[in-house]
């Protein structure tokens, strides 16, 4: 476990945020901003990104030390995967727990108009003229590229947010990577795919037993009522970095840093297989 992971685990969140912000300010003074060519090289050499890939991206532009705009960052990512590839981003639109959000009487998800709370880069992707956004009421995904419709169109038809109709599950059928830009694996939502696939066979209950209903306004301004299971309180206690350091191979998921900025890259198929085998032995990110 790195020093940063130790601080994150034991320092009260209020003080952790202060320390984190100070670190990124200092980092910006110590290192020159990345150029576009440096960033493209990093994508290929350190994160394994290649032309034609489906690329699921966790990001924090505030933590990236780049010498170009966030919109240019999106363009560079599109260039990296090419016309045959697809960019995919988490795009949910609320900050509360999913259960708390859905129980609010006024809660309505408008697939065309609800901004995402997942950061600047996903928001820019959402606003792109070719964006395709899933109708899932709590874990909406936005995609740009060749496989966008295939990945997201059926997402709302599965009560399991990361089940067989989810973009994260479907990505395993293709040449895909999941990457973190300015992020650590603590943000890696793919870990929940194994839970939703194993269902009762998973060692711990991770979803509510009863589905909740969400109000969704679709692309045609029609209101839909979509049911989904929501995260159980059991999943509030987890240690993804520690678990990955101990059990997950570097081929399945590799964390790295460059000029003080965190990155990670995961092969979803390999990671799924390793997480599933571990869960069958009773070993999970929840301890």
Residue 223 and residue 214 in contact, taking contact as beta carbons nearer than 8 Å: no
- The predicted-structure confidence for 71-89, as pLDDT tens digits, reads as follows 999 999 999 999 999 999 9
Evaluated on CA atoms 120, 67, 129, 167, the torsion sign reads negative
Hey, what's the torsion of the CAs at 40, 46, 51, 52, to 10 degrees?
-130
- The predicted-structure confidence for 96-118, as pLDDT tens digits, reads as follows 899 999 999 999 999 999 999 99
Distance separating alpha carbons of residues 257 and 24, to the nearest angstrom: 13
User: What are the tokens at 11?
Assistant: 């320092």
**What's the confidence (pLDDT) of residue 234?**
82
Q: What is the residue extent of each domain of the chain? A: 31-280
Nearest to 263 by CA among 104, 30, 34: 34
Mean pLDDT for 150-165 is: 97
- The predicted-structure confidence for 243-257, as pLDDT tens digits, reads as follows 999 999 999 999 999
Mean pLDDT for 129-143 is: 98
Distance separating alpha carbons of residues 130 and 13, to the nearest angstrom: 38
Task: Give the angle subtended at the CA of 49 by the CAs of 23 and 66, to the nearest 5°.
Answer: 35
**What's the confidence (pLDDT) of residue 16?**
47
Percent of the chain with pLDDT over 70: 90
Lowest mean pLDDT among 25-29, 177-181, 280-284: 25-29
Q: Indicate whether 269 pLDDT > 60.
A: yes
Q: What are 261's strand-pairing partners?
A: 258
Residue 261 and residue 64 in contact, taking contact as beta carbons nearer than 8 Å: yes
Task: Give the angle subtended at the CA of 89 by the CAs of 87 and 92, to the nearest 5°.
Answer: 155
Lowest mean pLDDT among 5-9, 87-91, 178-182: 5-9
Q: Indicate whether 279 pLDDT > 50.
A: yes
Q: 9 pLDDT band (50/70/90 cuts)?
A: low
What is the DSSP annotation of 21-72? HHHHHHHHHHSPPBPHHHHHHHHHHTT---TT-EEEEEE-GGG--BSS-HHH
Q: Indicate whether 8 pLDDT > 70.
A: no
Distance separating alpha carbons of residues 224 and 279, to the nearest angstrom: 35
Residue written as token pair 């956004």: 133
Residue 105 and residue 55 in contact, taking contact as beta carbons nearer than 8 Å: no
DSSP code for 176: E
pLDDT, greater one: 17 or 239: 239
Mean pLDDT over each residue of the chain, to the nearest integer: 92
Nearest to 282 by CA among 216, 172, 201, 226: 201
40 CB burial (10 A radius; 0-12, 13-18, 19+): middle
**What's the confidence (pLDDT) of residue 287?**
87
DSSP code for 111: T
**What's the confidence (pLDDT) of residue 20?**
52
Q: What is the pTM of this model?
A: 0.90
Element (H, E) at 181: strand 176-181
Q: 187 pLDDT band (50/70/90 cuts)?
A: very high
Nearest to 59 by CA among 192, 181, 144, 210: 181
Element (H, E) at 264: strand 261-266
């Amino acid at each position: 476990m790195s020093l940063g992971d130790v601080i994150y685990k034991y320092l009260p969140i209020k003080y952790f945020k202060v320390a984190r912000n100070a670190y990124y300010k200092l980092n910006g003074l110590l290192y020159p901003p990345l150029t576009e060519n440096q960033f493209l090289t990093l994508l290929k050499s350190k994160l394994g990104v290649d032309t034609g890939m489906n690329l699921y991206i966790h990001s924090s532009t505030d933590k990236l030390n780049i010498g170009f705009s966030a919109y240019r960052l999106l363009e560079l990512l599109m260039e990296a995967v090419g016309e045959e590839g697809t960019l995919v981003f988490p795009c949910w639109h609320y900050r509360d727990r999913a259960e708390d959000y859905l129980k609010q009487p006024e809660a309505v998800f408008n697939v065309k108009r609800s901004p995402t709370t997942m950061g600047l880069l996903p928001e820019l992707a959402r606003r792109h003229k070719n964006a395709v956004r899933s109708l899932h009421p709590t874990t909406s995904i936005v995609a740009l590229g060749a496989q966008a419709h295939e990945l997201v169109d059926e997402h709302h038809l599965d009560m399991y947010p990361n089940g067989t109709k989810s973009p994260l599950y479907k990505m395993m059928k293709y040449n895909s990577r999941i990457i973190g830009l300015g992020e650590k694996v603590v943000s890696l939502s793919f870990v929940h795919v194994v839970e939703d696939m194993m269902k009762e066979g998973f060692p711990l209950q991770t979803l509510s037993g009863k589905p909740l209903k969400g109000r969704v306004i679709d692309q045609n301004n029609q209101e839909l009522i979509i049911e989904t299971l929501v995260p159980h309180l059991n999943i509030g206690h987890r240690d993804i970095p520690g678990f990955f350091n101990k059990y997950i191979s570097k081929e399945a998921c590799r964390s790295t840093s460059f000029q003080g900025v965190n990155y990670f890259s995961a092969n979803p198929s390999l990671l799924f297989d390793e997480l599933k085998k571990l869960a069958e032995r009773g070993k999970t990110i929840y301890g």
